[in-house]
Amino acid sequence: MIVNNSKTLLSVEGLRASINGTEILKGIDLTVKSGEIHAIMGLNGSGKSTLAKVLAGHSAYEITGGTIRFEDKDLLGLAPEERARSGLFLAFQYPIEIPGVANTQFLRLAYNTIQAQRGKEELDPLEFDDFVREKMKLLDMNPDFLDRSVNEGFSGGEKKRNEILQMALLEPKLSILDEMDSGLDIDALKTVANGVNQITNKDNATILVTHYQRLLDYVVPDFVHIMQSGSIVMTGGKELALELETRGYDWVTANKQSIAGAIA
Amino acid sequence: MSAVLQSLVNQPYKHGFVTEIESDIAPKGLNEDTIRLISAKKNEPEWLLSFRLKAYQKWLTMTEPEWQNVHYPKIDFQAISYYSAPKPKKKLASMDEVDPELLRTFEKLGVPMHERAALAGVAVDVIFDSVSVATTYKQKLADVGIIFCSISEAVHTHPELIQKYLGTVVPVGDNYFAALNSAVFTDGSFCFIPKGVKCPMDLSTYFRINTEGSGQFERTLIIAEEDAAVSYLEGCTAPRFDTNQLHAAVVELVALDNADIKYSTVQNWYAGDENGIGGIYNFVTKRGLAKGRNSRISWTQVETGSAITWKYPSCILRGDNSVGEFYSVAVTNNYQQADTGTKMIHLGKNTRSTIVSKGISAGHSNSSYRGLVRIAPTAEGARNYSQCDSMLIGDQCGAHTFPYIQVHNNSAIVEHEASTSKIGEDQLFYFSQRGINAEEAVSMIINGFCKDVFQQLPMEFAVEATKLLSFKLEGSVG
């Protein structure tokens, strides 16, 4: 939601980033305020997932220009774990598997790390168990998730739910959800979207990185940005995604100058 | 990334200090006189001296093995002192009489003896450089007929048992290092669980090498009679030295009908520094004979130390329906080398064996799993399941698997699974994105990887092992 007197959470200016000498992001500008939901759309290879990883601080990417501010911090000066502890969360497109580590153990470590950072009380395993079970109801998750190894043998939908569960637990200020809809059937998509909608509020913000409009029927964005070849070429409201759905990405290519100009 | 990996690997050895206790050291060198000296120092009977001399003669005819996947300069066996004992003023009856300096050493090692013994209910037969200093809980064990003492003591108090079993599982000429041990062993533990007795507590020994330049040749013998059961814990640390030290122990286990022996080890000998200088050569022969029907021998080991580890705790499954198990975690870092695994020799009918080996390599280290599963023609219906997993941390280390499978009976079922994984950038990124730093991440990944083995350890050992692994790998990723 767009709220009055909201404060700027994220401010990206002229961001350029490369991997192995190849430039992927070619000058990104993006401002996200509290309460807002942004969708970043684009074809495979447009750089949208790279943007998500660069914001979270993946070490494979070299930042070659621009700035990122997160609240009052220079994000580029922070290690990935410091960014996370400051309230930036990335839901992974491909969450990793950790054989032999019970999900609850991992979740509690992550939760307590963030709690400690915020000067809040850490939970012991029993307290955490009560707490996490409550959160799992948001996502209609079976409690046996807690005892299974982290993401090991999880279906695509289970992995995504587990990511959103972490978002619910860690209560980030800014959540970046990378291809949250990929691999989900419509029921799972609704459940996950419903979970996200319950977590979002006027004090936090969300960036949805997605290829398709489908997700945006359930998590409705305030802004839609279209990326192509490492740049945001169009920005609009939620109707831009619908337009894109009807006309396809070719339409963007043909019209990006004029439309972008019109919207700006 | 590799800088990140390197920083986690390089952690100074915590237990690097020398305890100043007067030692009684034999002159360097090995010949018949040395052996006679050791035997005389220990006031041994004639039969044991001849056992030693026979082993020595055998050893002279043998050559040092070279087939293993480890590399080190030739050992000069004449430059080693074969006997070193702290000088006790008198025979010690209780912990209170133990040299306070020695107790402080245990404190530094994090082994508060009184507490450990009392709280955990563990009887600890303390080995300090080759000679047993104190034995606790002896009376309590004696009440149920269990003998748990140093092997030198048992030679005098129970010569018939020693004579009956010593060298029956690992013969004097079994291999080069076992022969050497048989010739010069100074002390070790002896444990005898009589028929029908389930040992009421875990039996534990802490080993520690202390005198610079002295070899350490432990000899352990554990017998479980019919329907008996025992869980034995062995833990090792050693202080820091620049000259390599040889450790060539022999452990023999004998399980009679329906007996159950569980032998757990956490090994943390000094591994050498980050450039591969110094460290212990750990060349150990451990073997269990599942002699009786339905007997079970289970080895669990967590190997984190030593410059070189050469060790294959094995089971000879002679009794019908007998069971052999081997659960191993071997961690190598810096320039450590480990060639470890097991041998499961199936002789009896319906014998079963399980092998779970987890190798973790970091730094410039090399870790090899080497295992033999042999199904003899007599082993009708034998089964084996082997699982060998390797994990690599960084790109300078190596992991190798050498499985040997020999099946001479068509009814046998033998399964072998192997995997290799790597702690990579993406995994660490996932953790860091949840606010978790690299060290905690590695610790969690490793402990998950080793879970199947840690589950086999007695509780307090499992906690220790978990901490030890995190500690060993600190700085290897970050």
Is A197 within 8 Å of chain B by CB?
A: no
Number of Cβ atoms within 10 Å of the Cβ of A250:
8
Whether B445 has its CB under 8 Å from any CB of chain A: the answer is: yes
Q: Which of A229, A237, A236, A235 is nearest to A253 (CA)?
A: A229
Task: Give me A26's structure tokens.
Answer: 């070619």
Q: Number of helices (H) and strands (E), helices first, in chain A?
A: 8, 12
Residue A85: inside a domain: yes
> Which residues in chain A touch residue B433, judged by CB atoms under 8 angstroms apart?
56-57, 80-81, 83-84, 89-90, 92
Domain assignment present for A150: no
d(CA B353, CA B330): 20
Residue A65 lies inside a defined structural domain of this protein: yes
| B174-177 CB contacts, 8 Å cutoff, 24+ apart | B174/B285, B175/B62, B175/B65, B175/B285, B176/B59, B176/B62, B176/B63, B176/B64, B176/B65, B177/B248, B177/B283, B177/B284, B177/B285, B177/B310
| Domain presence at residue A64 | yes
Q: Do A84 and B425 touch (CB under 8 A)?
A: no
Cβ within 8 Å, pair A113-B449: no
Residue-wise pLDDT tens digits, A131-151: 999 999 988 898 899 999 999
Asked if A101's CB is within 8 angstroms of B447's CB, the reply is: yes
DSSP assigned state of B79: G
Q: How far is A79 from chain B (nearest CA, A)?
A: 8
What does pTM read for this prediction? 0.80
Q: Are B78 and B89 in contact (CB under 8 A)?
A: no
Look at residue A218 and tell me whether its pLDDT is greater than 90.
yes
Find the CATH number of the domain harbouring A90. Answer: 3.40.50.300
Other Cβ atoms closer than 10 A to A58: 19
Q: Which domain holds residue A179?
A: 8-96+173-263
Predicted local distance difference test score (pLDDT) of residue B107? 58
B contacts of A165 (beta carbons < 8 Å) = none
Query: Residue A226 domain-assigned?
Result: yes
- Is A192 within 8 Å of chain B by CB? no
Does any CB of chain B come closer than 8 Å to the CB of residue A60?
A: yes
Inside any domain, residue A27: yes
Q: Nearest C-alpha of chain A: how many angstroms from B182? A: 41
Do strands A231-236 and B23-25 pair parallel, antiparallel, or not at all (unpaired)?
Answer: unpaired
Q: Of the candidates B274, B270, B120, which has an alpha carbon nearest to the alpha carbon of residue B210?
A: B270
Helices (H) and strands (E) in chain B, counts: 13, 23
Question: Residue A189 is encoded by which pair of tokens?
Answer: 């998509």
What does the pLDDT average to over A113-124? 93
Q: How many domains does chain A fold into?
A: 1
* Residue A77 resides in a domain: yes
Alpha carbon of A28 to those of A23, A84, A93, A229, B67: distances in Å? 12, 21, 21, 11, 60
Write out the E strands in chain A: 8-19, 22-33, 37-42, 62-70, 73-74, 88-91, 98-102, 149-150, 174-178, 205-210, 223-228, 231-236
Q: Best mutation site among A62, A81, A93, A114 for testing chain B: the one with the most B CBs within 10 Å? A: A81
Q: Give the pLDDT score at B440.
A: 86
* A84–B429 CB contact, under 8 Å: no
Contacts of A84 in chain B (CB under 8 A): 432-435
Q: Which residues of B touch A53 (CB under 8 A)?
A: 429
> pLDDT digits over A182-215, tens only?
888 898 899 999 999 999 999 999 999 998 888 9
Q: Which residue has the higher pLDDT, A241 or B120?
A: A241
CB contact under 8 Å between A110 and B450, yes or no, is: no
Q: How far apart are CA B332 and CA B330, in angstroms?
A: 7
Residue at A227 is within a domain:
yes
Helices A103-117 & A125-138, crossing angle to 10 degrees?
100
Q: Which residues of chain B have pLDDT under 50?
A: 1-11, 88-91, 112-123, 129-135, 207-214, 238, 242, 478
Residue A257's pLDDT band (boundaries 50, 70, 90)?
low
Cα distance between residue B339 and residue B332, in whole Å: 10
Residue-wise burial string across B223-254, b where 16 or more C-beta atoms lie within 10 A, e elsewhere: bbbebbbbbbbbbbbbbbbeebbbbbbbbbbb
Q: Which residues of B touch A56 (CB under 8 A)?
A: 429, 433
Residues of A whose CB is below 8 A from B430: 92, 95-96
**Cβ separation B429–A89 shorter than 8 A:** no
